[in-house]
Amino acid sequence: MATVASPAFSIDEFLLQEREKDLLRFSTAGSVDDGKSTLIGRLLYDTQSVYEDQVRSIEGKGTTAPGQIDFALLTDGLRAEREQGITIDVAYRYFSTAKRKFIIADTPGHEQYTRNMATGASTADAAIVLIDASKGVLIQSRRHAYIASLLRVRHVIVAVNKMDLIGYDERAFQAIEADFSAVLNQISADTGTPVERIFVPVSALAGDNIVHRSKKMPWYGGPSLLEILESLPSSQDTRKAGFRFPVQRVLRPNQTFRGFAGQVASGTVRPGDAITVLPSNRSAKVQRIVAWDGDLEEAIAPLSVTLVLDRELDISRGDLIVATQAQAAVARSVKAALVWMDQRPLDLSRRYLLKHTSQTVPVLLTSIDYRTDLTKLTREPAQTFEMNDIGAASLNVLRPIAVDLYGENRSTGAFILIDPETNATVAAGMVTATSVDVTAGEEGETGAWGAVTAGEREARWGHRGGVLELTGPVESIRAIERSLFAVGAVSSRIDANEDVFLLHPNLLDVVTGIQVRSGLLALVIHANQSDTLIARAEGEQVELDIDNSMHAISAVHQLLHRAGIFISSEKAGL
Amino acid sequence: MPVAEGELLSSSSRKVGSVVAGRQQRLSHLRLLEAESIHILREVASEFERPVMLYSIGKDSSVMLRLAQKAFYPAPIPFPLLHIDTGFKFAEMLQFRDEMARSIGAELLVWRNEPAIAAGTNPIVLDTKRCCGLLKTQALLDALRHYNFDAAFGGARRDEEKSRAKERIYSFRDTAGQWDPKNQRPELWNLYNARIHPGESIRVFPLSNWTEMDVWQYIHEEKIPVVDLYFAKERPMYVRPIGSGQDVLMPIEQDFVARPGERPQMVKCRLRSLGCSPCTGAIRSDATTIPDIIAELISFRSSERANRVIDHDQEGSMEIKKREGYF
């Protein structure tokens, strides 16, 4: 809305100019009274990005002096917030200037909203960290800067707000700058990510140095906040990074066309490029880059395209296509920084689901390496992670995944954890180290059990240990048992209704526990007269129509694949 | 003088160099938004059993539909389109809908809350809130349940309304189709949590990050067909003064809209957003092309939904409707 129609205005010129604009995403964080909502409201208002009816709807409301607009009301969306006077979630705002389009991820600043801050930072190119000049550096400014650095937001703009309250005092500003620079250095050392910082003294309420340079701080002489935002390089440019392309979907409209649809996560691809498919490690050349408007000569991140290869390879959703000369790691265990986001604390004895690019894999958290105390910026040992905790842990994925370090690739190094019972997103993860081998010392599922390791059993049998519970008519269960045998699964069969298990309910767990550690596929059978078959593995359940037995069998094999028991789709007989 | 000034200058000069060197390669905001939306469409189509696309015939739906064509090309769109027909849509909209579905070979489902329509539900007999509740929200929930859809795409944008600004791209709905703004899943990077329990569903908003301006610019660049009602021409309207020299233009599609003694006048006007004819006012306009519309948009000082009666029934009314299951 910045360019207002004037006599000389030409729509064709405007459209040409618009076409050139790029997009910068930035996050903000702040609490009730440090003026964040006012700052954003002011940014929107002064760039003419709010409409008159929106301004009218808030005039005369709010907490500012009569006749003054309470800019905070422009951005506080939800009723609950209006009632409590706080911002409780991430809100997205949009505005544009003659130079650029912007997306703001506007997040609350209190400790209980750490997860919202991480959410906002995850897609941001820049972060505005607010400091109240009348109060100095508070914990929430440190927290926000820490999260921005952890999530690798490239630029941190430190807006020292409420300069009007301290008489626009240069010395006070410099003191804050010195203080917070030291904090930022400490943060960089902890997260391993350099923080590119810019300090700017502002008053959101009075509009000083927000859009226009302020005359009240001649000692500053630098650009306004908006000028800074307009001139930052956007970090979308990953053209020179290794090519990464997670396969979202296989497109097969007819017998002759077979394309792999996905979004370029990093790098560039051209027809003729040598690519490798991970984790299966097979190679081919790119034949075509297909798009609706015609084939492309090259595709750069983050374009969504469809690749056609020069030969038939077994590729499915979740596979990662990479440049053959710049491969990603195929890992069975990773170390990662985690932000815990769920009310229920981390339970090391449970399995979670790890969603990474376009795949979801069961995962065990084998140990907590440390928790970070954001007040002191120190690392401390921890037994668990609770809501809003930040720390690091080791994880074993139950199927190998192709990953990069988050420090090198923000797209293929990131994951979320999901609780398979509640389906909640419980954590955000950033890979800091990878290993082909499972973490040492991890007894139980994937570690050594006796003289033969889990990896050796797996290599021989083509699957790992796990429990498959089948509830339904006995004929269907038999058909599934036969089909598992046919693909070479080494299974055992336990009837859960046998007296001994009914008498000692815990015994079933003990027996299947031993079988799983021995690498067997333990079938636990509940026979009944129902006309459906329920199959359950790793917390996931499918309900199947027994009249369509081919479909039921195939669905159970897919379930075992998704659950990480069958490692490849080939072994699963799919 | 802040230390950062030097850094800022040096980094911005580097940027200028790279922009000049690779001007044709830098992706515009529309290409970035398009790539993000296609990624979302493909994720949902791959992770849900029965997705559907809500097709409302308006400009946002038209963009969303084009993005779906692009996302799965050369394969067909792998889900049906669903139109919730309140019975009060403009005749031109319904004609456009049928032609569009036919020309792109998409499967089109139409759902109407027939019992409520037969009972004479309209926004004047009832109020707009209850009318919307029956003909839109109830009809939508019934249709989703009837067809067992577990994911429904909608063309809503976050810049439309304040409560929409906090909507996730995957908006989780409980078994009753309701939205709980306090209990939303965090959404990080482009990793969407698609797991739901039986009976639950999600609404998906692939255009979340688009603005009204982006939508029109995309329609212009991609030459996407839109309903003729968006373009100005002489149309019969009821002209109702609302004081201080202003008035509203009410379409004459439905007889019950007319007040006693009211006669339609020909006015050169167009619709800025398409809804039900009794609740959508037209605006005076000379915009007959997409660039005209964009030029008009730049000069507008009033937000897009201001002519939609439904949003200002009560403070936060969109949020209340969404909690109840409205899109």
3-class DSSP assignment, residue A343 = coil
Provide the pLDDT for residue B126: 83
Provide the pLDDT for residue A444: 39
Q: Convert the pLDDT of each residue in A454-513 to its tens digit.
A: 777 777 888 888 899 999 998 889 989 998 988 888 989 998 888 788 777 778 888 888
Q: Which residues of A touch B71 (CB under 8 A)?
A: 261, 304
Q: How many CB pairs under 8 A join A and B?
A: 238
- Quick one: pLDDT band at residue A308, thresholds 50, 70, 90? very high
Is any Cβ of chain A less than 8 angstroms from the Cβ of B12? yes
Q: Which residues of A touch B212 (CB under 8 A)?
A: none
Provide the pLDDT for residue B2: 40
3-class DSSP assignment, residue A571 = coil
Q: Distance between CA B106 and CA B65 in Å, rounded? A: 10
Q: Which residues of A touch B73 (CB under 8 A)?
A: 290-292, 306
Q: How many CB atoms lie within 10 A of CB A421?
A: 11
Provide the pLDDT for residue B315: 45
Q: Convert the pLDDT of each residue in A42-68 to its tens digit.
A: 888 888 777 666 666 666 666 666 556
Q: Which residues of B touch A418 (CB under 8 A)?
A: 193, 195
Q: Distance between CA A266 and CA A260 in Å, rounded? A: 16
Q: What DSSP element (H or E) covers A191?
A: helix A170-191
Q: In 3D, which of B243, B236, B242, B244 has the Cα closest to residue B282? A: B236
* Nearest residue in chain B measured CA to CA from A300: B25
pLDDT over threshold 90, residue A70 = no
Provide the pLDDT for residue A282: 92
Query: Do the Cβ atoms of A14 and B319 come within 8 Å?
Result: no
- Quick one: pLDDT band at residue B267, thresholds 50, 70, 90? very high
* Helix and strand counts by DSSP (H, E) for chain A: 13, 28
Q: Which residues of A touch B166 (CB under 8 A)?
A: 77-78, 89-92
- Quick one: pLDDT band at residue A290, thresholds 50, 70, 90? very high
User: Tokens 């004895």 appear where?
Assistant: A349
Q: Convert the pLDDT of each residue in B177-218 to its tens digit.
A: 787 766 778 999 999 999 998 888 999 999 999 999 999 999
Provide the pLDDT for residue B314: 46
- Quick one: pLDDT band at residue A32, thresholds 50, 70, 90? low
Query: Do the Cβ atoms of B33 and A23 come within 8 Å?
Result: yes
pLDDT over threshold 80, residue A438 = no
- Interface residue of B42, B49, B244 to substitute, partner A, most A CBs within 10 Å: B42
Query: Do the Cβ atoms of A9 and B319 come within 8 Å?
Result: no
Q: Distance between CA A396 and CA A364 in Å, rounded? A: 5
Query: Do the Cβ atoms of B76 and A261 come within 8 Å?
Result: no
Provide the pLDDT for residue B324: 60
Q: Convert the pLDDT of each residue in B89-126 to its tens digit.
A: 889 999 999 999 999 999 999 999 999 999 888 887 88
Provide the pLDDT for residue B52: 98
Q: Which residues of A touch B302 (CB under 8 A)?
A: 51-53
Q: Convert the pLDDT of each residue in A339-381 to its tens digit.
A: 999 999 999 988 899 999 999 999 999 999 999 998 888 999 9
pLDDT over threshold 80, residue B322 = no
- Quick one: pLDDT band at residue A210, thresholds 50, 70, 90? very high
- A273-303 burial by CB neighbour count: b if 16+ within 10 A, else e? bebbbbbbeeebebbbbbbbeeebeebbbbb
Q: Convert the pLDDT of each residue in B295-316 to its tens digit.
A: 888 877 555 555 555 444 444 5
Query: Do the Cβ atoms of B158 and A262 come within 8 Å?
Result: no
Which of A22, A200, A411 is the closest to B26 by Cβ? A22
- Quick one: pLDDT band at residue A389, thresholds 50, 70, 90? very high
Which whole-number Å values give the CA distances from A158 to A41, A122, A201, A224, A236, in the listed order? 18, 18, 8, 12, 22
For chain B, what is the mean pLDDT?
Answer: 84
List of residues 6+ apart from A244 with CB closer than 8 A: A264, A265, A266, A267, A301, A320, A321, A322, A328, A404, A409, A411, A412
- Interface residue of A16, A78, A150, A338 to substitute, partner B, most B CBs within 10 Å: A78
Q: Distance between CA A120 and CA A37 in Å, rounded? A: 15
Provide the strand spans (E) within A341-465: 351-356, 359-373, 378-380, 390-403, 414-418, 425-435, 448-449, 452-453
Q: Distance between CA A571 and CA B175 in Å, rounded? A: 37
Percent of chain B with pLDDT over 90: 53
- Quick one: pLDDT band at residue A2, thresholds 50, 70, 90? very low
Provide the pLDDT for residue A65: 60
Tokens of A439: 């973490």
Tokens of B35: 């790539």
Q: How many CB atoms lie within 10 A of CB A362?
A: 23
Provide the pLDDT for residue B15: 28
Widest distance between CA atoms in chain A: 90
Is any Cβ of chain A less than 8 angstroms from the Cβ of B300? yes
Helices (H), A222-369: 225-231
Q: Distance between CA A448 and CA A518 in Å, rounded? A: 9
Q: Convert the pLDDT of each residue in A510-532 to its tens digit.
A: 888 888 888 899 999 998 888 88
pLDDT over threshold 80, residue A278 = yes
Residues 112-131 on B with a CB inside 8 Å of A are none
> Any bridge partners for residue A276, and if so which?
A283, A322
Provide the pLDDT for residue A69: 67
pLDDT over threshold 80, residue A297 = yes
Contact in structure between A449 and A464 (CB atoms under 8 Å)? no
pLDDT over threshold 80, residue A9 = no
Provide the pLDDT for residue A295: 96
Query: Do the Cβ atoms of A303 and B28 come within 8 Å?
Result: no
Which of A101, A122, A177 is the closest to B188 by Cβ? A122
Provide the pLDDT for residue A398: 87
Percent of chain A with pLDDT over 70: 87
Least confidently predicted of A336-340, A426-430, B27-31: B27-31
User: Tokens 């910068």 appear where?
Assistant: A24
Provide the pLDDT for residue B262: 86
Query: Do the Cβ atoms of B302 and A115 come within 8 Å?
Result: no
Contact in structure between A409 and A373 (CB atoms under 8 Å)? no
Tokens of B265: 């006048």
Query: What ipTM does this complex have?
Result: 0.85
B24: distance to nearest CA of chain A, Å?
A: 9
pLDDT over threshold 70, residue A76 = no
Q: Which residues of A touch B322 (CB under 8 A)?
A: none
Provide the pLDDT for residue A84: 53
- Quick one: pLDDT band at residue B143, thresholds 50, 70, 90? very high
CA A526 to chain centre: 39
Query: Do the Cβ atoms of A423 and B190 come within 8 Å?
Result: no
Q: Which residues of B touch A426 (CB under 8 A)?
A: none
Is any Cβ of chain A less than 8 angstroms from the Cβ of B323? no
Percent of chain A with pLDDT over 90: 51
Query: Do the Cβ atoms of A53 and B39 come within 8 Å?
Result: no
> Any bridge partners for residue B279, and if so which?
none
Provide the pLDDT for residue B37: 98
Contact in structure between A387 and A343 (CB atoms under 8 Å)? yes
Which of B181, B196, B209 is the closest to A92 by Cβ? B209
Which whole-number Å values give the CA distances from B242 to A30, B245, B249, in the listed order? 41, 7, 10
Q: Convert the pLDDT of each residue in B45-80 to its tens digit.
A: 999 999 999 999 999 999 999 999 999 999 999 999
User: Tokens 């921890």 appear where?
Assistant: A382
Query: Do the Cβ atoms of A253 and B75 come within 8 Å?
Result: yes
Provide the pLDDT for residue A445: 40
Provide the pLDDT for residue B301: 59
Query: Do the Cβ atoms of B2 and A418 come within 8 Å?
Result: no
- Quick one: pLDDT band at residue A437, thresholds 50, 70, 90? low
Provide the pLDDT for residue B10: 34
Tokens of B262: 């009211």
Provide the pLDDT for residue B159: 85
Query: Do the Cβ atoms of A78 and B191 come within 8 Å?
Result: no
> Any bridge partners for residue A571, and if so which?
none
- Quick one: pLDDT band at residue B321, thresholds 50, 70, 90? low
Q: Distance between CA A227 and CA A294 in Å, rounded? A: 38
Which of B2, B15, B188 is the closest to A119 by Cβ? B188
Q: In 3D, which of A236, A51, A223, A551 has the Cα closest to residue B19? A: A236
B90: distance to nearest CA of chain A, Å?
A: 27
User: Left if phi > 0, otherwise alpha if psi is -120 to 50, otherwise beta: which for A15?
Assistant: alpha
Query: Do the Cβ atoms of B295 and A11 come within 8 Å?
Result: yes
Q: Which residues of A touch B179 (CB under 8 A)?
A: none
Provide the pLDDT for residue A463: 86
Contact in structure between B281 and B307 (CB atoms under 8 Å)? yes
